[in-house]
Amino acid sequence: MSKNDVVITGFGATTPLGGDVASTWDGLLAGRSGVKTLEADWVERFGLPVKIASRLAVEPTEVLPRVQARRLDRSEQVAIIASREAWAHAGHGEDTVDPDRLAVIIGTGIGGANTLLDQDDLLETQGLRKVSPLTVPMLMPNGPAAHVGLELKARAGVHAPVSACASGAEALAWAWRMITLGEADVVVAGGAEAAIAAITMAGFAQARTMSTRNDDPERASRPWDINRDGFVLGEGAGVMVLEREDYAKARGATIHGRLAGIGTSADSYHITGPDPEGTGQAKAISAALRTAGLDPKDVGHVNAHATSTPAGDVGETVAIRKAIGEHPLLSAPKGNLGHLLGAAGAVEAIATVLSIKESVIPATLNLENQDPGVVQEVVSGEPRKVDLKAAVSDSFGFGGHNVALAFVPA
């Protein structure tokens, strides 16, 4: 089977920029920010130093039926919404795929944090009888994947990679493997996250990884800018429908691009800090090019992980130089979206495919004074029109997880 045999037939998303892929993409091209001041009462109650986050642009409860929404954690809600859009975009309907040849892989970094916190509060304040019998299915990290799998009747496999901020990208890598190994014809894959809560905000704040630019939320997330001071926590979901090429063509599907190759590795360096030499990240990128059959010079664009942290942003560019060189144009959607944790890699992979398909790279928002440690050209100010032969999307996570995805045109 050809290693370029995995094609993309559909995608869906719900993000801080919009409730679907089109509005999210339009927001990226228009240079909009999804970062806002948090209005939750716990921000002041606990004296949190970070008072900003990237909430969803469209509330899931406005999209899903009320009864269904009540039975799902927020992370499961966004996974269902993005998957439905992707499934419809791919031209699939009910019973269009043999369930034994259909798989679902939805990653998450944290899972049902809000359910865990809410149900624990009920237990402590109102007792056992008030705890929902659906608590465990709502809080378990495999919940988003499980609910999508149930809805689509997938029986080839339902998986939930949990690799921090690389989870969504790793789900796409698993999907590539399943298809190239002949384990499935169609895989619905991506990432979902909805963990904006007091404890996660407090934990990240105590680790000093988050921006405290509270007086200027829309300019807080600033990848590669010399004045960056940390990431902004976000929420959302991104999902792709990946298919075996001959299967997609046989049913007359529209092919939007190809997941040509994937690479994964681990730093084994530090639980939260990236290897400053970028060794593991470079290995993942090189592996993506190798499995795609691409030469580094073929890559014209890297959609970078670039979270807006002082250490991580520059280290990633070191890895890109090692694996690809200095020629690719870089961009970082987290300036607009904030950091969607386990959903980030999937949403940004969709943006990468759209960059290839529409020959345009969105500008990196809030890049005013580029860090001198970043020697590559970063697209900033305005979107850049450019024809792309290939592009790479990077995702990295706490624990040293590294994933790189190589995309080429349809």
Which residues have a catalytic role annotated? 165
Q: How far, CA to CA in Å, does 379 sit from each of 35, 44, 129, 328, 393?
A: 20, 37, 55, 10, 15
Q: Round to whole Å and give the CA distance between 199 and 205.
A: 10
Residues 6+ apart with CB under 8 A from 41: none
Q: Round to whole Å and give the CA distance between 87 and 100.
A: 17
Q: Round to whole Å and give the CA distance between 118 and 110.
A: 15
Q: How far, CA to CA in Å, does 322 sit from each of 7, 61, 263, 285, 317?
A: 28, 45, 15, 9, 9
Retrieve residue 33's tokens: 């920010």
Taking the CB of residue 296, how many other CB atoms lie within 10 A of it? 17
Q: Round to whole Å and give the CA distance between 362 and 354.
A: 10
Q: Round to whole Å and give the CA distance between 277 and 234.
A: 28
Q: Give alpha helix (H) positions in 107-166.
A: 113-126, 135-139, 143-152
